[in-house]
Chains A and B, each alone.
Chain A
Amino acid sequence: MKYVDEFRDPEAARRLLDEIAAQASDQPARKFMEVCGGHTHAIYRHGLEALLPASIELIHGPGCPVCVIPMGRVDDAIAVAGIDSVTMCCFGDMLRVPGKDSNLLEAKARGADVRVVYSPLDALALAERLPDRQVVFLAVGFETTAPSTAVTLVQARRRDVANFSVFCNHVTIVPPLKAILDSPGLDLDGFLGPGHVSTVIGTRPYRFVAEHYGRPLVTAGFEPVDILQAVQMLLKQLAEGRCEIENQYRRVVSDDGNKRALQLLREAFVVRPHFEWRGLGFIAQSALAVAPEFSAWDAEERFAVPGVRVADPKACQCGEVLKGALRPWECKVFGTACTPETPIGTCMVSSEGACAAYYNYGRYSSRPRIAVHAR
């Protein structure tokens, strides 16, 4: 498969691993955070963690869109889905995200009309096919998915689809990154920057990471060779005493991002004054709401959304995991009370969540590396 095979070439990976090992041996132990859930998934899926030298630890960041949805918003979505006239459309990952007492999959089993779509445009098309239903698209995701929701809003207005609306939970990547950098006791040496988000926003918005916080960041692709090369670039920067924003994912990401997509975001959305993040609490100006010009397609305007804030379950330590303060297996309920089948926290739901990725893929394969570490 073109654009995939060459980035999964074991030979190329081996060469990078040799370079990484050589560089790491001259440096103190390093902790790098991969911000994006897609990276977390790829790291475990390809078993990369066990291949890196023991002195390099990858910390899993907050960039899994499903993982950061607070319970109250899930309850809101369930409440809207429970309205007789409503057909709720969402991505498959959202079905099992726990609200206070239930999730969308159970709501569906109880009779709510909940459907999985792969694109918001599919939800809009469904609204046109079902003129008697109120079709609501449950929008989640960072700047990666927000442009497709924006296009859908523009299309809904252009085609005057009155029975369609968006329940908007889009979030932005820079504010949580700042929150993590501001958290006391920060223990990170650098970042693997998000890949897909950066195709939209470019690499310029990350400058503050190097300039104000003195941490290097390398925007990385999602294949094993991409990730290894980004780790190697971070080590090289540290070895040379540099602290820069670099771009490993040049085949897709430009410094300025996608101007057309950014324009669409400005058109369709406004920044919320604050938004609650699962485990991270309220973060100012960290999320998007449907713009007033599109209020006719805003589900929060159309339906009575309860909007009740629900505290995270006491046992759940997702927040610490999202900040990189706890490794998944250090959480008290990891793998016992909290499993992919019966998740307590959101990190255990999406395959991009640190806990689910570690539970599903990584919990065994990491053992040999730790054994080496222990000697």
Chain B
Amino acid sequence: MAPNDDFETREAVLARIESWRRRPPKMSDETITMAHGAGGRASRSLIEAVIRPAFSNPALDGLNDAAVLDIADTADGRRLAVTTDAFVVTPRRFNGGAIGDLAVNGTINDLAAMGAEPLALTVSLVLEEGLPVQELREIVDDVARAAAAAGAAVVTGDTKVVERGAADGCYITTTGVGFVRPDSRLDAASVQPADALVLSGAIGDHGVAVMVARGDLAVAADVASDTAPLHELVSALLDAVPETRWLRDPTRGGVASACNELAADCGLGVELDERALPVNSTVAGACEMLGLDPLYIANEGKMLAVVPAEAAPEAVRAMQSCEAGTEACVVGSVTESHPGLVLVRTGFGGARIVDMLVGDPLPRIC
């Protein structure tokens, strides 16, 4: 094959793949598998093909971390953000946190990612017959402590008990509401080429901490979950850089999946710098041994922000001024050159694609 044909053939193949990737996701599976809960491509298919069509409306269809509602009769025109999240993590207690902290922080962070300050929470518990009351007390205490730390009261809730075997100990669903800051201009459509990607700290801590706590790996590593509320960090960021374009807390599917959602939503490309990505050395070591990529591992106390390039140093400083953001740094940029795709530049000047997660390396981590 002549080199020129080779080039053209490959170009044609790439174009075919890209058009295939942009097709609306279809749900071809007949049963739910663990992959549908992993936050990657299968989750996206499930939501796009089964869930969203059933409920479709303007507030939902952006599929953001929280829905933003325009409430006509608030005097000052403030908008309300609403989000809900279920927590099924196993084990329920791990280095650095527990299901109760996660259930609050996860919801607070989904609100924060929409530029909303937490106002109130609801907590719904599904308990399995046989759960020790002492453990439930501890879980409830964790929820209360985390909610107080975030300045949000738990204002209503529900409790259900199911037969032994019908659930695994305790599942928690939390809903959070909060007002969006009036000066927030967060919108994927406002993202511009050359904007900077700022990450609030090291990635992969939560996923690896839960995996180690399960004890089903012959790996002992001193890694603590990063679970933390990020409303103050976001507040500091928006104070310093009100023109911040987009925020997401990279939980299931990790920074890789968050960047893919960004690329899809803004119609531009994302380029990450592998050398700039902060990864704690124990997490890096565990991932190396287990063949995992920290980019795909869940975080529970990190925020990914897109800011105008010239505001990046200010954004980094603002995050670093908060306890949850001391390791904040610029990790990449937005580009026109490969729309819809996420690329990571390796230390050698090579590059590789970072696609949506397929399959599930670590089930039930939140």
* Interface positions of A (Cβ within 8 A of B): 1, 4, 8, 10, 13-14, 44-51, 92, 95-96, 105-106, 108-110, 117-119, 122, 224, 329-330, 334-336, 339-342, 351, 359-367, 370-371, 373-374
Contact = CB atoms under 8 A, between A and B. Distances in A.
A1 B285 contact: yes
A269 to B, nearest CB: 23
B216 interface: yes
12 contacts: A1-B281, A46-B348, A48-B348, A109-B32, A110-B31, A118-B216, A329-B13, A339-B20, A341-B41, A361-B352, A363-B353, A374-B7
Interface SS majority for chain B: mixed
B358 A340 contact: yes
A359 B354 CA distance: 10
B355 interface: yes
Contact of B14 (A47, A109, A110, A364): A364
Given A4-B288, A330-B9, A122 B216 contact: yes
Given A118-B217, A335-B20, A367 B347 contact: no
Contacts of B346: 45-47
B42 A336 contact: no
Nearest to B35: A105
B31 A106 contact: yes
Contacts of B341: 364
Band of interface residues on B: 35 or more
Contacts of B29: 106
A7 to B, nearest CB: 11
B145 interface: no
Given A45-B352, A50-B350, A373-B3, 6 more contacts: A48-B350, A329-B9, A329-B13, A329-B14, A361-B353, A362-B352
A343 B103 CA distance: 35
B134 interface: no
A230 B42 CA distance: 39
Contacts, number: 126
A330 B8 CA distance: 12
B361 A92 contact: yes
A47 B271 CA distance: 14
Contacts of B9: 329-330
Contact of A13 (B7, B216, B345, B348): B348
Contact of A373 (B7, B17, B351): B7
Given A1-B284, A122-B216, A364-B343, A351 B352 contact: no
Interface in B314-366: 338, 341, 343, 345-353, 355, 358-359, 361
10 A-B pairs closest in CB distance: A47-B350, A335-B17, A361-B352, A365-B351, A109-B31, A374-B7, A340-B358, A109-B33, A329-B13, A47-B346
Contacts of A370: 3, 6-7, 10
Nearest to B352: A361
Interface of B: 3-4, 6-7, 9-11, 13-14, 16-17, 20, 28-35, 41-42, 216-218, 281, 284-285, 288, 290-291, 338, 341, 343, 345-353, 355, 358-359, 361
Contacts of A119: 218
A341 B350 contact: no
A367 B359 contact: no
Contact of B348 (A10, A110, A122, A366): A10
B4 A374 contact: yes
Nearest to A357: B352
B350 A335 contact: no
Nearest to B347: A10
A336 B350 contact: no
B213 to A, nearest CB: 15
A105 B352 contact: no
A341 B42 contact: yes
Contacts of B361: 92
B352 A365 contact: yes
Contacts of A340: 355, 358-359
Contacts of B20: 335-336, 339
Given A110-B31, A336-B16, A46 B291 contact: no
B10 to A, nearest CB: 6
A365 B350 contact: yes
Given A1-B284, A106-B31, A374-B4, A51 B290 contact: no
Contacts of A50: 350-351
Pick the most buried of A47, A109, A334, A373: most chain B CB atoms within 10 A of its CB. Answer: A47
A45 B32 CA distance: 30
Given A119-B218, A336-B20, A351 B33 contact: no
B89 to A, nearest CB: 17
Nearest to A365: B351
A135 to B, nearest CB: 14
Pick the most buried of B217, B285, B346: most chain A CB atoms within 10 A of its CB. Answer: B346
A106 B10 contact: no
Contacts of A339: 20
Given A46-B350, A373-B6, A363 B14 contact: yes
Contact of B28 (A92, A342, A371): A342
